[in-house]
Amino acid sequence: MKRRDITGIQKVLDKVFETKEPPVARCRLLSSGLEAYHRIYTDREVTADKTCIACGNCVDSCAVLRREPERLERTEQRTSMALESVVGKDCEQCYSCALACPMTDPEIKEYIVNSRIKESLPRVKALSQWDKYYAPVVAFICGILIGLFLQW
Ligand code: SF4
Ligand code: SF4
């Protein structure tokens, strides 16, 4: 599959991600739509269709809705529109919805991961010292000891 160059839409994507609203629908519309090889059986041409397929992935992955599932009592729909109406401006900009959406291009998801998701694992100084300096020395000494033991 050919990779899509999204450099031309990065400014628009940045605006979408800076807005405190569910980003999934706009990510979907900025994507390429269904590819001809997608396994959807229908009697109409759907290639490049960008509509929401109502899979509900965005609803299931939303941090706000996981914490406050009672918001879902307002609708039975599991679409991006439902997400916009029950979350709206309370969006916490975690981008899980866009990452979970099968209609969002992988290159857009990659851009989200690289530019928006903060690294949450703190670096432990002692461990990085171990990785960089002590582990190779210990491995070297162990190698010599094993070599001596085998010759003995
Ligand atoms: S999943 Fe995250 S980004 Fe998407 S609507 Fe919910 S809080 Fe907002
Ligand atoms: S995740 Fe599913 S329900 Fe949500 S916008 Fe994408 S296609 Fe629609």
What is d(CA 65, CA 107) in angstroms, rounded to the nearest whole number?
A: 26
Residue 15 within any structural domain of the chain: yes
Write out pLDDT tens, residues 85-130.
999 999 999 999 999 999 999 999 999 999 998 766 666 777 777 7
Is the pLDDT confidence value at 79 over 70? yes
Ligand nearest to the CA of 52: 2
More confident residue, 152 or 92: 92
Question: 106-115 and 10-18 helices cross at what angle (nearest 10)?
Answer: 60
- What integer pLDDT is reported at residue 1 of this predicted model? 67
Same-domain pairing of 151 and 86: no
Query: Residues 9-68: pLDDT tens digits?
Result: 999 999 999 999 999 999 999 999 988 777 777 787 877 889 999 999 999 999 999 999
Same domain as 150, residue 87: no
- In this structure, are 40 and 110 located in the same domain? yes
Query: Minimum-distance ligand to the CA of 84?
Result: 1
In a domain, 1, yes or no: no
**Residues 141 and 101 grouped into a single domain:** no
Q: Which residues of 34-65 are buried (b: 16+ CB within 10 A; e: fewer)?
A: beeeeeeeeeeebeeeeebbeebbbbebbebb
Q: Which domain holds residue 86?
A: 7-115
pLDDT at 15: 97
Domain count, the chain: 2
Helix (H, G, I), strand (E, B) or coil at 143: helix
Q: How far is the CA of 81 from the centre of ligand 2 (A)?
A: 9
Same domain, residue pair 35 and 89: yes
Please tell me whether residues 137 and 83 are part of one structural domain: no
Same structural domain, 104 and 148: no
pLDDT at 42: 79
pLDDT at position 115 is: 94
Residue 120 lies inside a defined structural domain of this protein: no
Instruction: Kindly state whether residues 55 and 98 are assigned to the same domain.
Output: yes
Q: Do 122 and 108 contact (CB within 8 A), yes or no?
A: no
pLDDT at 129: 73
- Ligand 2 centroid – CA 118 distance (Å): 24
CA–centroid distance, residue 132 to ligand 2 (Å): 44
Relative to the CA of 100, which ligand 2 atom is closest? 1
In a domain, 32, yes or no: yes
Give yes or no for a contact between 59 and 78, defined as CB atoms under 8 angstroms apart: yes
